[in-house]
Amino acid sequence: MPHTPSAPVGGIRVGPSVRSYAAELTTSCLWLVALMVAAALLLRLIDSTPSLLTGLPRGVVRLHSVAALEHVLGNRVPAPAYFPASLAWPPDDIRMFQRQSVALWFRQRPTNEIWFVQAMAPAGSSAIAPEVMAPGVILQSEPALLSGAPALVQRIRDTNGVVWHQILWRTNRHLLLARSRGSLDELMRMAASMDRR
Amino acid sequence: MFAYAGQAILHGIIAALFVEALLRLWRVGEPDERLALRWLALAAPLLVTPIYSLAAPVRATGSFGVRWALFSGHHWDQLRLGGTDLTTFVTLVLMGLGLLLFLRDVLPYLHDRMRTIAETRVTDPGDPRLARLRRVLALIPDSPSIDADVVLIDRDGPVLLCSGAGRRPSVLASTGALARLDDAELRAALSHEVSHLVRHDPQAGWVLLLLRTLQIVSPAAQIVGRHIVQELEYRADMTVAREGYSAELVRAIARLSQADPALSNPERRARPEFRRRLVAHTRRLAEEARRCRLEEAAPETRSVAPIRAVLAAAGLALLLFFVV
């Protein structure tokens, strides 16, 4: 068998079998990395399909009733005892993000437009997740008292340019937000009538 | 528990597809490496899923699902089908499919096994058929090392298999199989069975059955289980090919399958014609594929195989961490 000269690599002379071994291992690693990247992209694409179909952000779940929401959360959802007759019950839309932030959207009866939004997150949260309700641009912000507890009253403009009033306050169990296109007095009255636990 | 089962099923599907892709990308031809990767696909959901569930509870949180996960089954909860969410619906369908595939393989196996045990055996040492079987078996180089029992079953149908269930391994053949094969073909077929025994394939079969039973509702596990059986057969075929008996084995397979009662038994012919044709067509394709592989040059053993198996396991484990 003829002798095959080995090539110097980094000062060490290696034979063709070592080189082919290294080459095959390198090729195998490259294919593995390519496969993992392709698999990751494909999985992410499949994962985003529900969001594409429903138009909801990733991780947001739409629930069909307040009862279903309470079942998922394992808790009662605070609701305003004062609920104007002009608002339609049940909520038009219920969205939940990571089983923590929740927003309930209500329509006004005569106009059929979204008129009132109630959102909540666990007490330790710093804010309602923007995935369930966009924060909007704050036009005015004032501290206030809601049934003797500190609250924040704000006037905001949403992404559609609509101006809303909103109240943000905390209870023992929740960070709560109520947002309305109606009068501030009515919004304050609704917020004050909510479960204080 | 249901969510865990859903995740294990999902991990099984991803593992099976991942390994299938690797077998093609790496052009793995060597039976032992193919088997190692298939076993990895089968075992991954049994090892990785419970370990991740116990050791990394952060994977179950919503923020991991949104920020880090490549795929989260919960994201499909928002789509509903027939009063239930899509995740639950798909999981139930896959569980039913897995169970069906498991029973489809296990019930005929148990039926055949019970039938073989109950059958009349030729025990007369002077019987020329039994003597021929022993003589041809003795020609195979590995047969003395396994010290197998030789069992001849009095049946017209073609039976030629091995068993490792008893204290001693055994080679079983039917009088029908012996009558259809000449000595060279019989030697090739017996060499195939001896190869199974030398490599402890019957024991591997029991482990396979156990792993499939543990994943009884996972369709991917059932399909990978079938692939492993095919790889075991391929490995035994390659042993025969290395001995220079591939042509004889091809002929033996053809003769025995022609006599298979599943295709020729008048009672069974009563089933719908299209189904009989479909079964016959599928068998022909499988035989053709097996024949082609036998006629191909035996794949070379690659020294990178062990490292590649470790790399595949690490890559798969990493990928599955982000699938919740």
The answer to whether A28 contacts B311, with C-beta atoms less than 8 Å apart, is yes
ipTM over 0.85: no
Whether the upstream peptide bond of residue A90 has omega within 30° of 0, thus cis, is yes
pLDDT, tens digit (0-9, with 9 covering 90-100), for B276-299? 777 777 777 877 888 787 777 667
Q: Measure CA B88 to chain center.
A: 30
The answer to whether B62 contacts A47, with C-beta atoms less than 8 Å apart, is no
- Of the candidates A136, A145, A148, the one whose C-alpha atom is nearest the C-alpha of residue A167 is A145
Residue A145 has a CB neighbour count (10 Å cut-off) of: 11
For residue B203, how many C-alpha atoms fall within 13 Å in the half-sphere facing its CB? 8
Whether pLDDT at A2 is above 70: no
The answer to whether A39 contacts B74, with C-beta atoms less than 8 Å apart, is no
pLDDT of B156: 86
Residues with Cβ within 8 Å of A59's Cβ and at least 6 positions away in sequence, in order, are A97, A98, A131, B62, B65, B66, B72, B74, B75
Residues with Cβ within 8 Å of B11's Cβ and at least 6 positions away in sequence, in order, are B44, B45, B48, B49, B320, B323
Q: What is the mean pLDDT of chain B?
A: 87
Rounded to an integer, what distance in angstroms lies between the CA atom of residue B32 and that of residue B10?
26
Q: Is B210 on the interface with A (CB under 8 A)?
A: no
> With contact defined as beta carbons under 8 Å apart, do B42 and B221 qualify?
yes
Whether pLDDT at A5 is above 50: no
Whether pLDDT at A120 is above 90: yes
The topology (CATH level 3) of A60-192 is: Protein Transport Mog1p; Chain A (3.40.1000)
> With contact defined as beta carbons under 8 Å apart, do A136 and A156 qualify?
yes
Which residues of B are less than 8 Å from A53 in CB distance? Answer: 79
Residues with Cβ within 8 Å of A130's Cβ and at least 6 positions away in sequence, in order, are none
In chain A, positions 6-45, which contact chain B (CB-CB < 8 Å)? 21, 24-25, 28-29, 31-32, 34-36, 39-40, 43-44
Closest residue of chain B to A55, computed from CA coordinates: B78
Across chain A, which distance is largest between two alpha carbons, in Å?
99
Residue range B83-91: average pLDDT?
A: 85
Whether pLDDT at A160 is above 70: yes
pLDDT of A1: 41
For the record, the structure tokens of B193 come out as 């069975």
Whether pLDDT at B265 is above 60: no
Which among B62, B80, B322 has the least Cβ separation from residue A59?
A: B62
pLDDT, tens digit (0-9, with 9 covering 90-100), for B96-129? 999 999 999 999 888 888 887 778 888 888 899 9
Residue A9 binned pLDDT confidence (cut-offs 50, 70, 90): very low
* For chain B, percent of residues with pLDDT exceeding 90: 53
Residue B54 has a CB neighbour count (10 Å cut-off) of: 8
DSSP state of B169: -
Residue range B40-54: average pLDDT?
A: 95
Which among B14, B79, B304 has the least Cβ separation from residue A24?
A: B304
> With contact defined as beta carbons under 8 Å apart, do B220 and B15 qualify?
yes
Whether pLDDT at B57 is above 70: yes
Closest residue of chain A to B17, computed from CA coordinates: A39
Residues with Cβ within 8 Å of A128's Cβ and at least 6 positions away in sequence, in order, are A101, A103, A119, A120, A121, A135, A175, A177
| SS3 state at A140 | strand
> With contact defined as beta carbons under 8 Å apart, do B154 and B175 qualify?
yes
Which residues of A are less than 8 Å from B315 in CB distance? Answer: 32, 35-36
Residue B277 has a CB neighbour count (10 Å cut-off) of: 11
> With contact defined as beta carbons under 8 Å apart, do B65 and B324 qualify?
yes
Residue range B171-175: average pLDDT?
A: 91
Whether pLDDT at B77 is above 80: no
3-state secondary structure A90-104: CCCEEEEECCCEEEE
pLDDT, tens digit (0-9, with 9 covering 90-100), for B231-251? 999 999 999 988 888 889 988
Rounded to an integer, what distance in angstroms lies between the CA atom of residue A146 and that of residue A193?
10
Stated pTM of the model? 0.78
In chain A, positions 151-180, which contact chain B (CB-CB < 8 Å)? none
Residue B175 binned pLDDT confidence (cut-offs 50, 70, 90): very high
Which residue do the tokens 């006004």 mark? A108
Domain range summary for chain A, segments of one domain joined by +: 14-54, 60-192
Residue range B12-36: average pLDDT?
A: 95
Which residues of B are less than 8 Å from A64 in CB distance? Answer: 80
Whether pLDDT at A187 is above 80: yes
- Lowest model confidence (mean pLDDT) among A17-26, A179-188, B31-40: A17-26
Residues with Cβ within 8 Å of B84's Cβ and at least 6 positions away in sequence, in order, are none
Smallest CA–CA distance, residue B76 to chain A, in Å, is 6
pLDDT, tens digit (0-9, with 9 covering 90-100), for A38-51? 999 999 999 999 88
The answer to whether A98 contacts B79, with C-beta atoms less than 8 Å apart, is no
pLDDT, tens digit (0-9, with 9 covering 90-100), for A126-155? 889 888 888 889 999 999 988 888 999 999
Mark out the alpha helices in chain A (DSSP H runs).
16-54, 66-73, 184-192
For the record, the structure tokens of A177 come out as 């937000």
